[in-house]
Amino acid sequence: MGTNANRALQAIRLDGTTYTLTISIQPSFIENYESISFELLQRNTENSLTLTCERTVLVDGYYQYEVMVEMKKVIAMFPDEEILDLVIVRSNGEDENHSRIKSNYDNMEFLRIQLGDNMIFYPGTTKMGNLSFYKKEEFFLAKIQEVDVTADAILMMTGMFLPPKGVKIAQLNLLIKLHEDEWQSVPIQQEKMDDSYAGSNWYRPVSQNGISAKVDLQPYMMEKESSLKFYIEATLESGEILQSQRVKVNHLGHKFPVQVMKKMGNRKYRITVKPTKRSRYLSVSISEYKFVSEMKRSTRDKWVSIRRSKQLLKLFTFAFKVLGIVFPADKKLVMFESFHGKQYSDNPRAIYEYMRENNPDYKLVWSFDRRHIGKFQDLDISMVRRFSVPWLLLMTRANYWVTNARLPLWIPKPKHTIYLQTWHGTPLKRLAADMEEVHMPGTNTEKYKENFVSEAAKWDYLISPNQYSSKIFRRAFQFEQEMVESGYPRNDFLYQANTKESIQNIKAKLGIGPEKKVILYAPTWRDNQFYSKGKYKFNLELDLTKMQAEFGETHVIVLRLHYLVSENLDISDYEGFVYDYSNQEDIRDLYLISDMLITDYSSVFFDYANLKRPVFFFVYDMENYRDNLRGFYFDFEKKAPGPLTRTTEELIHEIKRIAENEFTFDEEFYNRFCYLEDGFAAKRVVERVFH
């Protein structure tokens, strides 16, 4: 039931009003500290309760700690608090380090303690996979453990439920929602749960609350496509009716999706059962099967499988090596790429545009990802599709590669190629070899660091925006070649185009009124919030309704989310006030038109500092980001060039405060990080690398 983290919950038991937690700690995580303790920390405060704990045995190389959460002490310390976070505190005298405990994605919500007045206390897993405790109004909970679909299109499900304490249930029904106003009901059988579940500490409180149901899916095949949602309805002996939250699926013990094909008359249907990505709600989709469409889909899927296969990768690697030797180098060919071929932007764009203007004898070619061709089609540039045969021929002959992110590790660099790595930001968050723990899909900490260092060994030049960055890059990337300490070429635009005319032209292009002040909100992504490899989530914590109420008459908000974030935003309620320009080809235009920046831990504030305009930091998850995900290179809370806020209300207050007083940018910050920026960084880079 555990995770692979160096600090993780392994088991939990509820005895009366005391939780006993078994927590595994990797010895290397605590070996350099004098003392270790566990605390419940009141969310967004420094208030804490130290818990009773005892180290027991060493299991599979991990120390096992028994930690007690006693309800009597919790209520005495936090009588009104709704969320308490579990942390491990590592201490060396006055120096303390707080880190969250990783959790299991299991049914801890069932381990609830009744507090009276319809309130309950229970453990749960946060969106970031950490263990917290919650005090909330009692709710009707139901989860499905096993599902199957028979050849006759009968959906079979078993699971568990937990109604509010003290109610007497006369009848349980499964509610099936097809459309907003179309519901159907199916009886649910109550039964004792299987011993394999009832015997576990996780399930013991609900061992008598097993449920099973059968749903005939054939009536839902009348439409070309159907999507079913599920709830449980309880009719009480008193006649009152209760409805559960939407039914969820357990994270453990079942493989999804479940699929079957069913023929109805002259039509064939595909039935797919799986949990939703974000919240793991039980979802059943039924769609008509058409041979031509299926053949197209099948062919596409097979081609994608071939394209991603190890065999094709080996063939490409072999071709790279051979062609890099056989073909002579084209001394004037330069290959450019930005963020894995997804954008025409950043430092590579600035270098490209300088060379196009000042070095016409060079052949300049852009590499683009086929899924992002729309961003390149209207540009007057020479380009080639990434990983295509023409791309392969150009990459192996090019005398120069210019990119701002790592290339795939399987690409061997020909001996004649000069690899210029521009990178993409001044580091606040720990990078590569400096990261204590990696929370990214498709890799682990050791593998990530090893691959990063192997790729960095191919770089011949690395651009640095300042001396501070140079020291970090040397160590974090273990880079041993030439550092070009030039300032960032991408920031040349902020000096060369910072005119009233340019700003008004960009506003007009983006459809923003010339009289409106612009608030740019550009947060970073969170390493551990992902659906799958390359598919990241992001929850917009900024309250746009409150922002609109305060600034809607005079300002607009421009959203710019990280390129890895794939979350779809619905901002239809804020038309004319909120603009989503996450897909804008380059953030530099948004910097220029913005009167102020709101960010968190993104390196955008280092670049924006060149404009000497107000910066606000919206850091609602400061402790978790600092202590668990990345960690910072300097004291961000003391040295940030603007106020740190944790709520939308605090942010609004700070914006108003600065508006009412004369604003002066932090000159110490500017002199430390922006001293090389003057509008000519691209010129310095080109003269050093290409001449």
Q: How far is CA 450 from the centre of its chain?
A: 22
- Note the pLDDT of residue 569: 63
DSSP assignments along 408-464, one per residue: PTT-PPPTT-EEEE--S---SB--GGG-S----TT--HHHHHHHHHHHHTT-SEEEE
- How far apart CA 505 and CA 507 sit, in angstroms, is 5
DSSP assignments along 123-146, one per residue: EEE-TTSBEEEEEEE---EEEEEE
Task: Specify burial of residue 556 (Cβ count, 10 A radius: 0-12, 13-18, 19+).
Answer: buried
- Residues contacting residue 99 through CB under 8 Å, at least 6 positions apart: 7, 87, 88, 90, 627, 628
User: pLDDT tens-digit profile of 477-500?
Assistant: 999 999 999 999 999 999 999 999
Distances in Å between the alpha carbon of 252 and those of 2, 143, 405, 629? 11, 12, 36, 25
User: pLDDT tens-digit profile of 260-319?
Assistant: 888 877 888 888 998 887 678 889 998 888 777 667 766 766 766 666 677 777 888 888
Q: What angle is formed at CA 473 by the lines to CA 470 and CA 479, rounded to 5 degrees?
A: 110
- How far apart CA 435 and CA 445 sit, in angstroms, is 8
- Residues contacting residue 225 through CB under 8 Å, at least 6 positions apart: 285, 286, 287, 288
- How far apart CA 485 and CA 464 sit, in angstroms, is 5
Look up residue 554 and give its two tokens: 């005079």
The single residue listed with the structure tokens 């439920």 is 161
The single residue listed with the structure tokens 């599979």 is 60
* Contact present, 12 and 108 (Cβ < 8 Å): yes
- Note the pLDDT of residue 202: 44
Domains of the chain as residue ranges with CATH: 7-134 (2.60.40), 141-289 (2.60.40), 310-490 (3.40.50.11820), 492-673 (3.40.50.12580)
Closest CA to 427 of 484, 394, 385, 465: 465
What residues in the chain have per-residue pLDDT under 50?
Answer: 1-4, 195-204, 527-538, 563-567, 629
Backbone angles phi, psi at 3, to 5 degrees: -115, 180
- How far apart CA 399 and CA 355 sit, in angstroms, is 15
- How far apart CA 89 and CA 659 sit, in angstroms, is 40
- Note the pLDDT of residue 500: 93
* Contact present, 67 and 23 (Cβ < 8 Å): yes
**Model confidence pTM above 0.75:** no
- Note the pLDDT of residue 562: 57
- Residues contacting residue 183 through CB under 8 Å, at least 6 positions apart: 175, 176, 177
